[in-house]
Amino acid sequence: MLLVFDIGNTNMVIGVYKGKELLTYWRIATDRQKTADEFGMLLYNLFEYKNIDPKEIDAVIYSSVVPPIMSALEEMAEEYFKCQPLVVGPGIKTGIPIMYDNPREVGADRIVNAVAAYEKYGGPLIIVDFGTATTFCCVSAKGEYLGGVITPGVNISMEALFQKTSKLPKVELLTPPRVIGKNTVHAIQSGILYGYAGMVDGIVKRMKKETKARNVTVVATGGMAEQIAENSETIDHIDKLLTLEGLRIIYERNKN
């Protein structure tokens, strides 16, 4: 079985594959202070809860945008699963040509998403990932990674609004009853939810116009994908586990 890690700045998503089947997954907080032993025992507990035998794990792959956490995770893979982990980065076969000025600058998660989305939906396509940052990635009909857009994520914006104002409260992101808020909480929720949906639609339309491509598929992923996508005019598919699937595909392309 294959153990996959999508390590983001706020959360990491961990999945277990048996062949092409995703058996289970977990979303946990990204803790830069955890040791290899703490990660190992956490995973053993999660495995026990799902009745998965850790001894059946014979491969591990990571995609990370948090370099400080990697040494502990690599040590954990070797100690607890007896695997030398595969890390998505320079030198890894992805099947996606990267048309960036400096390909090393592209976050591993963005490449992994592009691999999965192109495999599942074909091209041309735009991937919108609602993570700590909201990213837009453009892939050509030939499967080339053309580049993209990076904006502050939903939670960052909400946290900044709370921290940088004296009277505005921290609120839960729920869909308000109407766009025009009748109280402060609903006004903030409306601003964040519909503001981000409008931003997504605006950027996607500009990207489509710039590429001059026809029949562009737009795929949303990440923790906030469903809430924003249901208010968007341009998103075609919601695929919250896109990155895990990309990790599986990249592992298959590199295992021999």
- CATH code: domain of residue 200: 3.30.420.40
Half-sphere exposure of 24 (CA within 13 A, CB side): 10
Q: What is the pLDDT of residue 13?
A: 94
pTM over 0.85: yes
Report how far apart, in Å, the C-alpha atoms of 132 and of each of 23, 204, 223 are: 26, 19, 9
Residue 98 DSSP one-character state: B
Q: Give the three-state DSSP class for 94.
A: coil
| pLDDT tens digits, one per residue of 102-148 | 988 898 999 999 999 999 999 999 999 998 899 999 999 999 999 99
| Domain's final residue, options 87, 114, 143 | 87
Q: At what angle do helices 108-121 and 242-254 cross, to 10 degrees?
A: 90
Of 58, 87, 116, which one is at a domain's C-terminal end? 87
Check whether residue 76 and residue 178 sit in a common domain: no
Full residue range of the structural domain in which residue 178 is found: 103-247
| 135-187 pLDDT tens trace | 999 999 999 999 999 999 988 888 888 888 888 888 888 889 999 999 999 99
- How many domains are there within the chain? 2
Are 82 and 129 contained in the same domain? no
Q: Is the distance from CB of 81 to CB of 60 less than 8 angstroms?
A: yes
Q: Which of these is catalytic: 37, 53, 101, 109?
A: 109
Residue 109 appears among annotated catalytic residues = yes
Q: Does 127 share its domain with 208? A: yes
Please give the angle made by the CA atoms of 155, 156 and 160, to the nearest 5 degrees: 115
How far is C-alpha 72 from the geometric centre of its chain's CA atoms? 21
Give per-residue pLDDT as tens, 7-59. Answer: 988 899 999 999 999 999 999 999 999 999 999 999 999 999 999 999 999 99
Asked which of 55, 87, 119 is the last residue of a domain, the reply is 87
- List, in sequence order, the alpha helices (H) in 149-241: 154-163, 184-211, 225-229
- The verdict on 127 and 45 lying in the same domain is no
